[in-house]
Amino acid sequence: MTVKKTKTERQIPLERIRNIGIIAHIDAGKTTTTERVLYYTGKTYKLGDIDEGTTQMDWMEQEKERGITIVSAATTTMWTPKLPEALFSGPHRINIIDTPGHVDFTAEVERSLRVLDGGITVLDAEEGVQSQSETVWHQADKYSVPRICFINKMDKLGANFDRTVGDIEEKLGVKTAVLAIPIGVEQSFKGIVLLLERQAIIWEGDETGAEYSIQEVPPELKAKVEEARHRVIERIAETDEKLTEKYISDEEPSVQELKQALRRATIKNELVPVFCGSSLRNKGVQPLLDAVVDFLPSPLDLEPEKGVNPKTGAEEERKPDPNEPFSALAFKVQTDPHVGRLTYIRIYSGHLAAGSYATNITKREQERIGRLLLMHANQREEIEDAEAGEIVAVVGAGKTTTGDTLSDSAHPILFEGIEFTEPVIALAIEPKTRQDQERMGTALAKLAEEDPTFKIKVHPETGQTIVSGMGELHLEIIVDRLKREFKVETNTGNPQVAYKETIRQTTEAEGKYIRQSGGRGQYGHCFLRVEPKNRGEGYEFENKVVGGKIPREFIPAVEKGVKEAMENGVIGGYPLVDMKVTLYDGTYHEVDSSEIAFKIAGSMALQTAVKQASPVLLEPIMKVEVTVPEEFMGDVIGDLSSKRAHIVGTTQRGKVRIIHALAPLAELSRYATILRSMTQGRASYYMEPSHYEEVPANIQEALLSKGKTGKETQAKK
């Protein structure tokens, strides 16, 4: 259902808006925390439960079945700070994006962080800082997003607050400002002590956690509270000159002064406030909401968004002001069964009205903004217009995709887009019936538009449709969505590793394409130099033709030919990467030269050059972490070593060991089953893409001969 609201009904000053994301490792409790936030802010009237499949934010069928978040869900809610000594009063709008924790859906985290002003990092009190927590933390560092840490699951067996705080400082390399310590632990956890206020908040009796009492600090905790309070005041005072002077002269700053200084330090990423609780048991969420308002920035607290004027090339900025020219960044595209294609945008300046026009600066296209919607997961609230600082969904911007800039045509600006990781795994997919065939192409195109890490290509020799993604789960979800949402039945092959090719030497080659068949012919002639680049540096094309030996209008055609040839490699048909291509010479014919002739010449020259440049296959290497009981550690390390893994080291956490390794993805097929059977189901593992490395010569040879056999069989069929 779509509810319509006018601007005056939802108008909130910019300083009272918080755009935040909830980020963490899988199973740390992000969605449960978000569900509690929605309940306590009055957005929902029933506590959502992941195990029962009743959460608001995990609305997809696949999310409910698996109990995981797959797509980031946006919602907007209101919160008025409740606790004494709060920095701000009055209702605040909190726009929240709940992101997935599974590494296969890392694109959802990346695009959310690009447009958010602050973040809550949720950590498991027993597990501490896990791998994906580190990954998303560094993603947030890239965009300088201020964060609060919420140590969740304080009621869990093995929960250790102090160890987790130590983990945050050591593994994430940040200074913490611990503002709350737990009262009790595991089964006895019942509340928290707010250090600056010297007040205990106890939740008891009420199952929903909506009621709590504010009490004196329990006598047995007084000494610990004073010590921790002294430490946090010292940390905060270090960031502010006036407070440092007070501190040195033994004058204690007021709670308000300390909170204001901590707010400034948090926004500058100098300190990270730390809170704790148990979202599942409904404890600790209200103080966290107060902290979001107190310490995370409003759009006004941040630097203006910088971009480039596409006409002049000069750097410009847009302030979060409704009176500035309109500018926004599209960060997500979604297909909604009721309203069609939705484009989520973050508005950085100016205002946007439903029924108006905006220019897509990235694609140089005019877009009509049909309707504007505030989203609550998969429910919609229609609005008449939106202003700077808001996150809204647009209906009608049909050409806009993830990372595009929308702006006022009279004052164009181009913001930095969003970069995504390359896929590491692929599989062949084919429709079951002719009817499915007609629908499959459209469905895959829509899914690829939604998800920038999902790629589609047709194999040039076999004609098969190959889809690529970030992992087996990612592709499994795609196939499932094809069936459920688009009613397309498919057959799929086994997942295949996404190999790449590169070169090890610098070489030069000539490409000559001449055809004469009566009348006007075709003539394209060029010389290319190829040079290897460092791993991960990508592709670069340079034009060094002088003296008009190749007319300027044919240079892009040569580059296009080079790019197309790179798509299919030369030794195994895999994409070529990490190389520089220089066009340095050539000739042309005044009558016969054409773009198509130079494109073919560029492609021929590249293939010849690469064959002479000692080409080699590259394979994706995964960062693997196995959590295993001590008695099985030797077996697991032995098995990993047999899979060409490089054991980086081991760490201990309680009674379990964590094995850190780098292993080729090709060797990790069905690893979950192997690990379970080897450890009586007591071990678990996590992996994420790390980098690409050369495939050992003997394995490359076996791969290529296997590939050739497969192609011959396909050709015979």
Compute the average pLDDT of residues 377-397.
Answer: 83
Q: Is the pLDDT of residue 424 over 70?
A: yes
Q: What is the pLDDT of residues 337-347, one digit of tens each?
A: 777 788 889 99
pLDDT exceeds 70 at position 101: no
Q: Is the pLDDT of residue 517 over 80?
A: no
> How do beta strands 385-387 and 379-383 pair?
unpaired
What is residue 117's predicted lDDT score, i.e. its pLDDT?
A: 92
- The per-residue b/e assignment along 480-516, b for 16 or more CB within 10 angstroms, e otherwise, is bbbeebbebebeeeebebbbbbbbeebbbbebbbeee
Quote the pLDDT of residue 45.
Answer: 54
**CA 422 vs CA 132, 152, 562, 563: distances in Å:** 17, 32, 20, 17
In angstroms, the Cα distances linking 240 to 124, 244, 249, 599 are: 32, 6, 14, 61
The answer to whether residues 529 and 508 touch, using CB atoms and an 8 Å cutoff, is yes
pLDDT higher at 63 or 228: 228
pLDDT of residue 72: 61
Out of 65-74, 79-88, 97-106, 169-178, the most confident range is: 169-178
Banded model confidence at residue 107, pLDDT cuts 50, 70, 90: confident
Distance CA 143, CA 388 (A): 19
In what helix (H) or strand (E) does residue 245 lie, and over which residues does it extend? helix 241-248
Residue predicted with more confidence, 276 or 97: 276
8 sits in the region (left: phi over 0; alpha: psi -120 to 50; else beta) called alpha
- How long is the chain? 717
Alpha-carbon distance of 512 to 607, in angstroms, equals 12
pLDDT value, residue 62:
53
- Class of the 501-614 domain? alpha beta
Share of the chain above pLDDT 90, in %: 46
Alpha-carbon distance values, 136 to 172, 264, 583 (Å) = 11, 23, 40
Q: Compute the distance between CA of residue 1 and CA of residue 638 in angstroms, rounded to an integer.
A: 56
What is the distance between the alpha carbons of residues 207 and 280, in angstroms, rounded to a whole number?
Answer: 11
Distance CA 369, CA 152 (A): 41
The secondary structure of 18-48, three-state, reads EEEEEECCCCCCHHHHHHHHHHHCCCCCCCC
Tell me which residue of 182, 356, 338 sits closest to 275, measured CA to CA.
Answer: 182
As a whole number of angstroms, the distance between CA 435 and CA 423 comes to: 29
pLDDT tops 50 at residue 709:
no
Nearest Cα to 133, choosing from 19, 16, 25, 20?
25
pLDDT at 683: 86
Q: What is the pLDDT of residues 192-233, one digit of tens each?
A: 999 999 999 998 755 777 788 899 999 999 999 999 999 999
> Crossing angle for the helix pair 285-295 and 255-267, nearest 10 degrees?
70
Q: Is the pLDDT of residue 675 over 60?
A: yes
Question: Which segments of 553-698 are extended strands (E)?
Answer: 579-587, 616-629, 646-653, 656-664, 684-694
- What is the reported pLDDT for 281? 87
Give the mean model confidence (pLDDT) for residues 58-74.
53
Provide the mean pLDDT of the chain: 86
Domains 308-415 and 501-614 share a fold: no
Q: Are 532 and 506 in contact, with CB atoms under 8 Å apart?
A: yes
User: Considering only 100-104, 145-149, 679-683, which range has the smallest mean pLDDT?
Assistant: 100-104
Please give the pLDDT value at position 422. 81
Give the span between the Cα atoms of 521 and 512, in whole angstroms.
Answer: 13
Architecture, CATH, for domain 617-698: 2-Layer Sandwich (3.30)
Residue 403 has pLDDT above 70, yes or no: yes
pLDDT value at residue 9? 41
- Bigger pLDDT: 66 vs 352: 352
The pTM of this model reads: 0.78
Q: Give 632-651 pLDDT, tens digit per residue.
A: 999 999 999 999 999 999 98
Looking at the chain, the number of H-run helices and the number of E-run strands are 17, 39
Task: List residues forming the annotated binding site.
Answer: 24-31, 98-102, 152-155
Instruction: Please report, for the chain, the start and end positions of each structural domain, with discontinuous segments joined by +.
Output: 14-299, 308-415, 425-494, 501-614, 617-698
List binding-site positions for GTP. 24-31, 98-102, 152-155
Q: What is the pLDDT of residue 527?
A: 97
**Reading across the β-sheet that carries 213-215, which strands appear in turn?**
180-183, 191-194, 199-202, 213-215
Of 311 and 561, which is predicted with more confidence?
561
Q: What is the pLDDT of residue 71?
A: 56
Q: What is the DSSP string of 339-393?
A: TEEEEEEEEEESEEETT-EEEETTTTEEEE--EEEEEETTEEEEESEEETT-EEE
Helix axes 434-450, 472-484, angle to 10 degrees: 120
Would the pLDDT of 554 be above 50? Answer: yes
Give the C-alpha separation, 182 to 13, whole Å. 35
Distance CA 447, CA 481 (A): 9
**Tens-digit pLDDT profile for residues 7-41:** 434 568 889 999 998 888 878 887 788 888 888 88
Q: Which two tokens stand for residue 618?
A: 């590259």
Local confidence band at 391 (pLDDT 50, 70, 90 cut-offs): confident
Residue 409 clears pLDDT 80, i.e. is over it = yes
299 pLDDT above the threshold of 70:
yes
Picking from 196, 262, 263, the residue whose alpha carbon sits closest to that of residue 18 is 263
Using the structure block, give the residue that is written with the tokens 């899979």: 643
In angstroms, how far is CA 503 from the centroid of its own chain?
A: 30
pLDDT per position as a tens digit, 662-673: 999 999 888 888
Largest CA distance in the chain: 101
- CA 348, CA 386: separation in Å to the nearest integer? 11
Q: Amino acid letter at 715?
A: A
Q: Using one digit for the tens of pLDDT, what is the confidence trace for 467-511?
A: 988 888 888 888 888 888 888 899 988 888 889 999 999 999 999
Domain 308-415 classification at class level: mainly beta
pLDDT at 165 over 90: yes
Residues 282-306, mean pLDDT to the nearest whole number: 93
pLDDT in tens, 572-628: 888 999 999 999 999 999 888 999 999 999 999 999 999 999 999 999 999 998 989
What are the tens digits of pLDDT across the range 230-267?
999 999 999 998 888 888 888 888 999 999 999 999 99
Show the DSSP H helices in 585-696 as ranges.
Answer: 595-612, 633-642, 671-678
Of the candidate ranges 162-171, 203-212, 387-396, 473-482, the one whose mean pLDDT is the lowest: 203-212
Residue 314 has pLDDT above 80, yes or no: yes
Give Cα separations from 95 to 41, 637, 652, 705 (angstroms).
Answer: 12, 45, 39, 54
What homologous superfamily is domain 425-494 in, according to CATH? Elongation Factor G (Translational Gtpase), domain 3 (3.30.70.870)
More confident residue, 522 or 655: 522
Dihedral of CA 530/533/536/539: which sign? negative
Domain 14-299 class, CATH top level: alpha beta
Banded model confidence at residue 120, pLDDT cuts 50, 70, 90: very high
Res 121: pLDDT: 94
- If we measure between CA atoms, which residue out of 317, 692, 307, 357 comes closest to residue 534? 692
Q: 66 Cβ partners below 8 Å, 6+ apart?
A: none
